[in-house]
Structure 1
Amino acid sequence: MHAARLRRLPPGTWTALAWCAGIAYSFAVDIRLPGEVEPFRPLKVTHLMAAHWWTLAAATALALAGSVLLRRRPLPALTLLLAGSVLEAMALNSTEITFAQFLAAQVALAYIAATRERRAAFAAVGLTLGTLAGYALARLLLGYYIGTSTQLTVALTAAIAWLAGNWLRQNHERAAAVHAQAVTAERLRIARELHDSVAHSIGIIAIQSGAAKMVIGTRPAEARAALDAIETSSRETLSGLRRMLGALRQAGPVTAAPAPGLADLEGLAATTAAAGVQVDLRWQGPRCPLPAEIDRSAFRIVQEAVTNVVRHSGARRCLVSIEHTDRDLAIEIVDSGRGGHPAGAGAGYGLLGMRERVGLLDGDFTAGPRPGGGFRVAARLPVEAR
């Protein structure tokens, strides 16, 4: 909970705290412990004159103003923080800008590199290193000493701060890209499920409505049974549509209802038989659990192929063969109907969807007319690698 509260603090709070820590360090280094050698300092903080105190107050005002602007105007805010660092160094009569005096600017630099686009990040690091170089050059031109080693160390830490911020930004972008790809893949999966489910249900409804129309005057009982099947199929389809569309409306990751698998083939055969096409199921090999993506894709392939039989072939019967071995799962759907392409001259979304499913699982897919008449759909999905 405490870590979450810290993450919610605005970035300007951290730069203000870093500035205060740098000021506190400037006072703390004047404290000499017993036995400690008196270090050489051009001017102690406790010996500052009034003008120096006013300069230090102006530096603090600039730093706090930059902290307030950091989130909304990062580059101008960094400029104010750098100006504050320069004024603090001048107030303390430093031969260089020390790490403590530059700490707030480095925090701002890391924030800009982590949260802003690459152009702004490069501008920020250039402005930071340029300030260090400009301060040292100005002292040299005025005939003053400079602390070369300290300046180089501060420049190195500034570069490290920029690299750390840039690394955080890249990680965030990578995570966002992975998340977007996952959401897109899930939405495409739902779109395929939607197509397969609706295409099958609409095919069944079309056949049943045609049958009801033909016998409504002579065999009302059969017409009533067909209308009951239409009602059941349409209600199931509408329920599935509501679930899927509700999931697609979500702003975050999409999770649809569990998709059917090969265990639901008996129900599919019963529904198809009610539409006038008998589905003969033939199982070979053990009926052991399969990986979820293979189980789901196998069912959808059978469903789409059977839907094509109902809608396009004119056959009254089709054979669905499923063979499960240790290496793969083989699926074959054949009928003795008119043959030819189920979607006419085009490829058809149904066959494209089946081919795409099989391709995603590194399997083999074939579909086409049979030499003796009818149509054949075959798929082989590798199981061993999964």
Structure 2
Amino acid sequence: MTRTTAMAWAGGVLYLLMVGLLIGGANRASGTVHAVGAMLAVSLLVGVLRRMPLLALAMALFGSTAVVVGTPGSGQVNRAEGYQAQFLSYLAVDLVLGFIVATCTRRASIAAVAVSCAVQLLVMGGFSHGDAVTVNVVIALLTIAASCTVGLLSRERREHAVALRSQEVAEAVTAERLRIARELHDMVAHSIAIIAIQAGAGSQVIKTRPEEAGEALRAIEATSRETLSGLRRTLVALRQADLDAAASGQAPLAPSQGLADIERLAAATAEAGVRVDVHRTGAQRSLPADIDLSAYRIVQESLTNVVRHAGIGRCRVLIDYGDEELSVEVVDDGHGTAPNGSAHGFGIVGMRERAGLLRGHLSAGPRPEGGFRVAARLPLPEPVAVPAEAR
């Protein structure tokens, strides 16, 4: 038996002893004193109430009824007061009843209300006379109704809070799944596109030009290794329980990708047959990790679409480090859409979601002069002062 359980049972025993003391001193105090004492004594049943609410109700009913029956002058009617003082002890029972309605099942609550009403009405009918019977019964019913109403309101409020919490958890899970889907899509789609093109090129020249086939295989190997490394970072990050994992002895992870890796991304895209011209303007500086990674992913997905759908061997990437926002633009002179005229899967949707999460804006569509253009504007957290020399 745990200490808490022992204290709960001790409180129940003390409650019964207090009821016995109140009945034993019935001749030396008025009914009002005994009723108030019974209401204060019911606080000893808190431990029992939390573990066995129905047992606590039974004990409260027994104690309050014993006080009513044992109080001197119980059978006499005080027409001036209307509601006999000793019946105030049932207010403690009504408090317990309200807790049961708020926390227990509906079947248990209905049974508790029925038993409590029956006991109180029978006792009041037996120890009241004349007009006092009606007054006492009406007050008892109103008190029971009030306690049940408070209990129902408390139950509904708790259930509503649980429903809101469940909804928040579901929305958080959905948002996390979308984030993981974007990460995996942006990470894998580009690499798979390059691998597919290199594999196709290698299979065509493996007999006639084995040197070029070897270069294609080496490009496939390098791209595969980089993709596996990125997947490992993502999976390890998902498994981390908190941000203190590094302090617990785990090996440090490689830093996430950003705009500093655009040149390497351009080199990998060039091996797939699309030359990328990268132009940077503005004062280059370190950016917040989420903005840096999102900008990189937008460029990566745009280059993937160029490799897959543009049918052109060259494109341009423009990166502008502004004072208040970061601008990223990818432009090509190719077909502009997929051969079947459909959208590029979930890539553009993912890019828009990334920009929207950062309170930015992304536009993607064909250009009037031909080709396709993806432009994103990502606001920076706060304006960064640019020295006059840099301007």
1:188 aligns with 2:178: yes
1:340 aligns with 2:330: no
1:114-125 equivalences under 5 Å are 120=105
1:370 aligns with 2:367: yes
1:22 aligns with 2:15: yes
Q: CA shift at 1:279, angstroms?
A: 1.6
* Contact 2:19-2:66 at 8 Å conserved across structures: no
Distance 1:361 1:342 in 2: 28
* Contact 2:54-2:100 at 8 Å conserved across structures: no
SS in structure 2 opposite 1:377?
strand
Sort the Cα spacing of 1:334 and 1:284 in 2 relative to 1 into closer, same or farther, 3 A.
same
Distance 2:327 2:209 in 1: 42
Aligned residue-pair number:
338
Query: Which of 355, 358, 365 is the aligned partner of 2:355?
Result: 358
Q: What is aligned with 2:223?
A: 233
Query: Which of 125, 130, 151 is the aligned partner of 1:141?
Result: 125
SS in structure 1 opposite 2:320?
strand
Distance 1:195 1:342 in 2: 18
1:269 aligns with 2:266: yes
Q: CA shift at 1:385, angstroms?
A: 7.4
Q: What is aligned with 2:61?
A: 86
* Contact 1:286-1:325 at 8 Å conserved across structures: yes
1:305 aligns with 2:295: no
SS in structure 1 opposite 2:319?
strand
1:382 aligns with 2:379: yes
5+ residue gaps, structure 2: 35-44, 70-85, 246-252, 384-391
Partner deviation per Cα, 1:137-182 (whole Å, 9 max, x = no partner) = 3334335375988997787667656655654554444334323322
Q: What is aligned with 2:81?
A: none
Distance 1:31 1:286 in 2: 90
Q: What is aligned with 1:55?
A: none
Root-mean-square deviation (CA, aligned residues, Å) is: 4.4
Q: What is aligned with 1:57?
A: none
Partner deviation per Cα, 1:192-240 (whole Å, 9 max, x = no partner) = 1111111101111012112222332343233212101112222333454
Distance 1:309 1:359 in 2: 23
For residue 179 of structure 2, what is the amino acid of its counterpart?
R
* Contact 1:15-1:104 at 8 Å conserved across structures: no
Q: TM-score, normalised by structure 1?
A: 0.69
* Contact 1:22-1:103 at 8 Å conserved across structures: no
1:139-288 equivalences under 5 Å are 139-144=123-128, 167-241=157-231, 244=234, 259-288=256-285
5+ residue gaps, structure 1: 45-62, 72-76, 113-119
Deviating more after overlay: 222-231 vs 90-99: 90-99
Distance 1:139 1:275 in 2: 92
Sort the Cα spacing of 1:331 and 1:91 in 2 relative to 1 into closer, same or farther, 3 A.
same
Distance 1:278 1:178 in 2: 45
* Contact 2:57-2:93 at 8 Å conserved across structures: no
* Contact 2:101-2:109 at 8 Å conserved across structures: yes
Distance 2:171 2:240 in 1: 14
Sort the Cα spacing of 1:179 and 1:376 in 2 relative to 1 into closer, same or farther, 3 A.
same
For residue 336 of structure 2, what is the amino acid of its counterpart?
G
Distance 2:12 2:339 in 1: 72
Q: CA shift at 1:320, angstroms?
A: 0.5
1:111 aligns with 2:114: no
Sort the Cα spacing of 1:187 and 1:289 in 2 relative to 1 into closer, same or farther, 3 A.
same
Sort the Cα spacing of 1:308 and 1:103 in 2 relative to 1 into closer, same or farther, 3 A.
same
* Contact 1:110-1:161 at 8 Å conserved across structures: yes
**Segments ≥4 residues shifted beyond 6 Å:** 12-15, 147-155, 245-248, 250-253, 255-258
Distance 2:6 2:338 in 1: 67
SS in structure 1 opposite 2:342?
coil
Deviating more after overlay: 356-365 vs 77-86: 77-86
Sort the Cα spacing of 1:43 and 1:178 in 2 relative to 1 into closer, same or farther, 3 A.
closer
For residue 276 of structure 1, what is the amino acid of its counterpart?
G
Distance 2:305 2:18 in 1: 79
Deviating more after overlay: 133-142 vs 299-308: 133-142
For residue 215 of structure 1, what is the amino acid of its counterpart?
V
- Identity in percent: 42
Q: What is aligned with 2:322?
A: 325
SS in structure 2 opposite 1:221?
helix
Distance 1:22 1:101 in 2: 13
For residue 377 of structure 1, what is the amino acid of its counterpart?
V
Partner deviation per Cα, 1:92-139 (whole Å, 9 max, x = no partner) = 444535455566655544433xxxxxxx45x66665555554444333
Distance 2:166 2:191 in 1: 37
SS in structure 2 opposite 1:142?
helix
For residue 378 of structure 1, what is the amino acid of its counterpart?
A
Distance 1:209 1:342 in 2: 21
